[in-house]
Structure 1
Amino acid sequence: MELNFFCPRWGTEHIKLNEFFKQAKLQGYDGIEYAIPGDLPISMIDEIFNLAAKEDLLLIVQHYDTNETDYHKHGDIYNSWLWKMKDYKPLKINSQTGKDFFTFRENASLINAARKFSQDTGIKVYHETHRNKFSFAAHITKEYLLNIPDLQITLDASHWVCVAESFLENQQDAMQLAIERTEHIHARVGYEEGPQVPDPRVPEWQHALNVHLSWWDKVAERKRREGADAMLTITPEFGPFPYMVSMPFTQQPITNQWEVNAYMMQILRERYCSGFQHHDIQGKKI
Structure 2
Amino acid sequence: MKLKFFCPRWGCESLSWADFFDKVKSAGYDGVEIGFPYDLDEAEQYEILNGLEVNQLEVIGQHWQTVDSDFEAHKQDFKKQLLSLVSLKPLFINSQTGKDYYSIDQNFMLFSIADKISTNHAVEIIHETHRGKWSFAAHITQSYLELDPRLRITLDVSHWFAVAESLLEDQEAALGLAIQHTDHLHARVGFQEGPQVIDPRSPENETILLRHLNIWDKLISLKREQENSYFTITPEFGAPPYQHLMPFSKLPITNQWDINLWMKDLLKDRYSI
TM-score (ref. length: structure 2): 0.97
Q: Secondary structure at the match of 2:33?
A: strand
The superposition leaves residues 127-163 of structure 1 with CA deviations (integer Å, 9 ceiling, x where unpaired) of: 0000111111111111110011110000010000000
* Structure 2 contact 18–47 (Cα < 8 Å) conserved: no
The one-letter code sitting in structure 2 at the alignment partner of 1:83 is L
| CA shift in 2, pair 1:87/1:243, >3 Å | closer
List 4+ stretches of structure 1 deviating above 3 A: 36-39
Q: Secondary structure at the match of 1:235?
A: strand
The superposition leaves residues 148-197 of structure 1 with CA deviations (integer Å, 9 ceiling, x where unpaired) of: 11100000100000000000111111100001111000000000000000
The one-letter code sitting in structure 1 at the alignment partner of 2:267 is L
**1: CA distance, partners of 2:141 / 2:41:** 33
Q: Secondary structure at the match of 1:85?
A: helix
**Aligned-pair distance for 1:42?**
4.3
Map of 2:250 onto structure 1: 251
The one-letter code sitting in structure 2 at the alignment partner of 1:52 is L
The superposition leaves residues 246-281 of structure 1 with CA deviations (integer Å, 9 ceiling, x where unpaired) of: 01111110101000000000010011122xxxxxxx
Q: Secondary structure at the match of 1:109?
A: helix
1:231 aligns with 2:230: yes
RMSD over aligned Cα, in angstroms? 1.2
**1: CA distance, partners of 2:12 / 2:88:** 23
**1: CA distance, partners of 2:173 / 2:117:** 30
Map of 1:44 onto structure 2: 44
Map of 2:221 onto structure 1: 221
The superposition leaves residues 114-135 of structure 1 with CA deviations (integer Å, 9 ceiling, x where unpaired) of: 1111111111111000011111
Map of 1:205 onto structure 2: 205
1:115 aligns with 2:120: no
Map of 1:283 onto structure 2: none
**2: CA distance, partners of 1:168 / 1:49:** 40
Question: Structure 1 vs Structure 2: percent identity of aligned residues?
Answer: 48
TM-score (ref. length: structure 1): 0.93
Map of 1:17 onto structure 2: 17
Question: Superposition pairs for residues 148-227 of structure 1, below 5 Å?
Answer: 148-227=148-227
**1: CA distance, partners of 2:38 / 2:134:** 19
Map of 1:269 onto structure 2: 268
* Structure 1 contact 8–33 (Cα < 8 Å) conserved: yes
1:86 aligns with 2:51: no
Unaligned runs of 5+ in 1: 275-286
* Structure 1 contact 94–127 (Cα < 8 Å) conserved: yes
**What is the aligned residue count?**
273
Map of 1:55 onto structure 2: 55
